[in-house]
Amino acid sequence: MSTERNNVINNTLIFEKPPFLYHGSQYLLTELLPQAACGGSAKDSKLGIYAAETPEIVIPFALPIRWYPDSPDGKRDFTCNNGKTKLLYGSLNPDGVGYIYKVKSDSFEKIDDWQWVSPVKTIPVERIEIKVADYIHTVTFS
Q: Mind giving me the DSSP string for 75-135?
A: --EEEEETTEEEEEESEE-TT-EEEEEEEE-TT-EE-SSS-EEESS-B--SEEEEEEGGGT
Average pLDDT (125-138) is 96
- Report the alpha-carbon angle 35-38-41, nearest 5: 125
Per the model's pLDDT, the better-predicted residue between 45 and 137 turns out to be 137
Predicted structure pTM score = 0.80
- Report the alpha-carbon angle 42-43-44, nearest 5: 90
The domain limits of the chain are 6-141
pLDDT given for residue 87 in this prediction: 86
CB 117 within 8 A of CB 109: yes
- Residue 40 pLDDT grade (very low, low, confident, very high; cuts 50, 70, 90): low
Q: For 64-98, write each residue's pLDDT tens digit.
A: 988 766 555 666 778 888 878 998 878 899 999 99
For the chain, how far is it from start to end, CA to CA, in angstroms? 28
